Structure formats: C-alpha cells, structure tokens
C-alpha cells in the first residue's frame, strides 16, 4: 500500500469539520485539565495560561461548527467548485457537446455492503447519481462504451445498475485497479487513448477530477452531474432565518466541499493537475 495514500487518507479524517471541531474541543478540555493540575501545584501563572487556551479552543470549535452548519457558508463553498464546470450545459439545463464521445466514463463514489438488499441500494447517493447521469448521457450516444472505474466492489455494483438501467452488458467496461481519484486517469489512459470521452462525476468533484485527467495528458469532455448548489436567483438573504439557522445538511455540504478544495490544493502541490486552473 502506498504510504503517501495512507497518510493522505489519515490526515483527511481530521479535515472534516465535525472531526476538526471535536479535536479542538478535546484539546480545550485537555487544557482545562492541565490548568487544574498546575493549580494543585500552585503554579498559578501556568494554570491561568492553560485556562485561557482551553477557553480559546472551545470557543473557536463552537464558532467553526456553527459557521460550517450555515446555508450561506456551505452554499458559497459548493458553488465555488460547481460554477467552473458547467461549460457544456446550456441555460435550459441541457448538455451540449461539440464532439461525439466514444466513451462515457463514470467515476466511482463509494459503495455499501448491501447483502440481501436490492442492487440499486448498493451505492452511496453520490455514486448512484453519477451512474444514473452517466446512463442518461450514454443513451444519447448508444454506440459509445460505458466505462466504470473504481474499486472492484464499486465497479461491480455500478455495472449491475447500469445494465438494469438499459446499458447492454457488452457495452460496459470495468476498470477496477483505481483506489483514489488520481488513479482513474492513470489506469484509464491505455483504454481511452486519444479518443473523445465524457467525464461523468459529481459537480463538486469535477474540478479535481478534470484537472487530474488533464495532468495525464487526457482531454475530458466535462459532463458534471449531482449538482448541490442552488441556482443563482435563489441566493440566501442575510435577513432570512435560514441564513442563521444551523442545519446538519449544511454541515455535510461544507464537509464535502472542503474535502474537494483541500484535495484540489494537494493535487496542485504535487504537480498532478493539468494546464487549466480551476
């Protein structure tokens, strides 16, 4: 197993807003405990400093949790990712492509162990939306190949769902060596060659994915699905109660957006992103 991959996955656990807030809170309570220890030893200056640190950690964690749970915050972060990938979608919401693709490439987005449950329940919500969106696009170009890429458990379920939704089995190609977003273009390059292909993934995930494909010399035709941001005309009013009311769904959207933003910065830092700057 790649140690860099393991390190990245470990660090990413603590970049989730909930995990980060819990971590700050724990440091706060730990600082309170240290303050009590120094008080008992009559080291009052040190005790006072640790008490200030503890209050600071707890206040910051609370403020961060509150902000991450607000609609305007999650919306702005999500839109910052999605607004850059709609170049092939017109004002009516229809896809318009200049080239006719020979492949429709759908990226994995997680699966669930669902023994005894319908195969349609075997993917996460994001992954299911990607497959459904990919099948919809494939039906516009039924002579193209439908490519699923990811972990074997993911691609197996993706293939089943695609076939159930109407893609002939002989049209489905499975690439099952990829374990991470950066792996998809590496393992797909021999399959795709220089032929035109649609890249189908969640809109928030598209900037990083497209950049990584371009970094491998490929030229994806962007076909984002699973949009999460509201239309431009439905921006939050600062005077609306919804603008200041924390909600779990906003916390989740913030977490997804932050994961993509940090992943994009990491890929740029490692020189994996192609020539277009998102």
Q: pLDDT digits over 36-73, tens only?
A: 888 888 788 888 898 899 999 999 999 999 999 998 89
* DSSP E strand stretches across 87-144: 103-107
Indicate whether 277 belongs to any domain.
no
CB proximity list for 15: less than 8 A, separation 6 or greater: 258, 259, 262
Query: Beta strand pairing status for 145-149 and 103-107?
Result: parallel
Please give the structure tokens belonging to residue 245: 């009311």
Question: Based on the domain organization, do 97 and 53 belong to the same domain?
Answer: no
Rounded Cα distance between 168 and 172, Å, is 7
Q: Report if residue 192 sits inside a domain.
A: yes
- Whether 233 is in a domain gets the answer no
Count: domains in the chain: 2
Say whether both 213 and 159 belong to one domain: yes
Gap between the Cα atoms of 8 and 11, Å rounded = 5
**Ranges of residues in the chain whose predicted pLDDT is under 70:** 1-15, 114, 230-240, 274-278
Instruction: Please check whether residue 232 lies inside any domain of the structure.
Output: no
The CA distances from residue 241 to 31, 63, 155, 237, in Å, are: 35, 18, 43, 9
Neighbours of 147 (CB within 10 A): 28
H helices present in the chain, as ranges:
3-13, 17-40, 44-68, 71-82, 125-138, 152-164, 183-192, 206-215, 241-244, 248-269
71 and 95 belong to one structural domain? no
Instruction: Say what percent of the chain tops pLDDT 70.
Output: 88
Are 11 and 119 within one domain? Answer: no
DSSP run (H or E) holding 149: strand 145-149
Does residue 85 lie in a domain region?
A: no
> Residues 212-234, buried b or exposed e (16+ Cβ, 10 A)?
bbbbbebebbbbbbbbbbeeeee
Instruction: Say if residues 145 and 101 touch (Cβ distance below 8 Å).
Output: no
The verdict on residue 275 lying in a domain is no
Does residue 272 form part of some domain? no
Co-location of 36 and 63 in the same domain: yes
Residues 123 and 216 reside in one and the same domain: yes
- Looking at every residue in the chain, the average pLDDT score rounds to 87
Quick one: pLDDT at residue 119?
Answer: 73
C-alpha distance from residue 276 to each of 194, 204, 208 (Å): 18, 16, 11
Tell me the pTM: 0.85
60, 122: one domain: no
pLDDT at position 233, please?
43
- Residues 95 and 222 reside in one and the same domain: yes
Looking at the fold, whether 12 and 132 belong to one and the same domain comes out as no
Q: Which pLDDT value is given to residue 18?
A: 79
For residue 134, the domain's CATH number is: 3.40.50.620
214 in the same domain as 94: yes
Q: Do 65 and 190 belong to one domain?
A: no
Residues 29 and 138 in one domain: no
Domain assignment of residue 248, given as a range: 3-78+239-266
């Amino acid at each position: 197993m790649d140690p860099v991959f393991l390190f990245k996955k470990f660090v990413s656990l603590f970049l989730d807003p909930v995990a980060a807030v819990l971590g700050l809170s724990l440091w706060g309570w730990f600082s309170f405990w240290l303050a009590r220890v120094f008080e008992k030893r009559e080291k009052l200056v040190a005790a006072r400093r640790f008490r200030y640190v503890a209050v600071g950690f707890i206040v910051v964690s609370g403020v961060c949790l509150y902000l991450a749970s607000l609609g305007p915050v999650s919306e702005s972060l999500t839109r910052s990712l999605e607004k850059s990938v709609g170049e092939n979608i017109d004002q009516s919401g229809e896809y318009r492509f200049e080239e006719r693709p020979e492949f429709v490439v759908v990226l994995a987005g997680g699966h669930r162990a669902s023994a005894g449950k319908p195969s349609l329940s075997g993917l996460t919500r994001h992954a299911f939306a990607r497959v459904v969106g990919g099948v919809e696009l494939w039906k516009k170009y039924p002579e193209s190949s439908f490519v699923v890429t990811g972990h074997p458990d993911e691609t197996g379920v993706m293939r089943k769902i695609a076939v159930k939704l109407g893609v002939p089995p002989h049209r489905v190609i499975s690439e099952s060596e990829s374990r991470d977003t950066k792996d998809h273009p590496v393992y797909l390059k021999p399959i795709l060659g220089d032929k035109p292909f649609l890249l189908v993934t969640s809109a928030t995930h598209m900037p990083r994915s497209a950049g990584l494909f371009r970094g491998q010399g490929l030229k994806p035709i962007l076909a984002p699905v699973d949009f999460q941001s509201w239309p431009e005309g439905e921006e939050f009013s600062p005077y609306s109660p919804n603008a200041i009311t924390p909600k779990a769904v906003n916390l989740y959207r913030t977490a997804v957006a932050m994961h993509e933003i940090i992943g994009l910065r990491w890929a740029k830092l490692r020189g994996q992103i192609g020539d277009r700057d998102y």
